[in-house]
Amino acid sequence: MTAHPTTPLPASLNWSIEPGRLPYGAALEAMAARVAAIRNGTAEEAVWLVEHEPTYTAGTSARPEDLLETRFPAVAAGRGGQWTYHGPGQRTGYVMLDLTRDHGTVRARDVRDYVRGLEEWLIRALDRFNIRGERREGRIGIWVADRARGTEEKIGAIGVRVTRWVSWHGVALNVDPDLSHFAGIVPCGIPDHGVTSLHRLGVLATMEEADSALMAAWHEVFG
């Protein structure tokens, strides 16, 4: 894992960017090991930015009928939520924190507040590209509304797992993925709304620019 060279972060937090594309199974193994080490006091908290090979991942609430095709591997993720796609052009942020203590605006031992913090993190990162990301009651993730057409599409997904008050999994931000790949699932179990990306919205940001936005927004939410 390669550390980001700019924007200082708290000494107790390890911020890293994985080069290349990582198989999803390898990320699960690495996260499980890191979470155990954080819990045992032998590793720092971490935010790990990853780009995956094309994969469909199933959360604990995923319904088999929502996997519509099998052109890509389908993996049980162990996180909350339903089906999600990960692939090239999407930045996945794995967040491994000790939730027994406060983190900026996020209160200790409050999973709901932690999820809201992840939402706010994505919203503030998108704001740096003049994109208004929004929450929707009863729908996990971050949405972008086209009020002229009366439509809205998901640009960021959220799925978490907490083991003995240490978090893992996290967020996925669509920078420039192949949006047709989402057709193989019902994303997050919601058939009535599509997905979008920075590039589809006309923001031709690089992955590095997306990473910088995520890093800057982190401070505002998690301290």
The domain spanning residue 133 has which CATH number?
3.30.930.10
- 188 flagged as catalytic: yes
Which residues are within 8 A (CB) of 151 and not within 5 positions of it... i.e. 6 or more apart?
Answer: 145, 193, 194
Helix residue ranges per DSSP H, the chain = 24-40, 111-127, 207-222
Count of structural domains within the chain: 1
**Which tokens go with 72?**
């890509």
| Torsion sign, CA atoms 86, 143, 115, 46 | positive
- Rounded to whole angstroms, the Cα distance separating 205 from 123 reads 16
Residues in the chain, pLDDT under 50: 1-10
The confidence score (pLDDT) of residue 222 equals 98
Helix axes 111-127, 207-222, angle to 10 degrees: 130
**C-alpha torsion sign, points 165, 31, 24, 218:** positive
- pLDDT score, position 140: 86
pLDDT of residue 12: 82
Please report the pLDDT score of residue 110 as a whole number.
Answer: 98
Q: Which pLDDT belongs to residue 111?
A: 98
How far apart CA 208 and CA 215 sit, in angstroms, is 10
> What is the C-alpha separation between 35 and 19, in angstroms, rounded?
21
| Amino acid (one-letter) located at 111 | V
Joined together, the tokens standing for residue 160 give 């978490």
Catalytic residue among 17, 106, 188, 214: 188
Provide the domain limits for residue 59: 2-222
pLDDT in tens, 19-43: 999 999 999 999 999 999 999 999 9
Query: Does pTM top 0.85 for this prediction?
Result: yes
d(CA 90, CA 54): 10
C-beta atoms surrounding 2 within 10 Å: 9
For residue 12, give both structure tokens.
């107790």
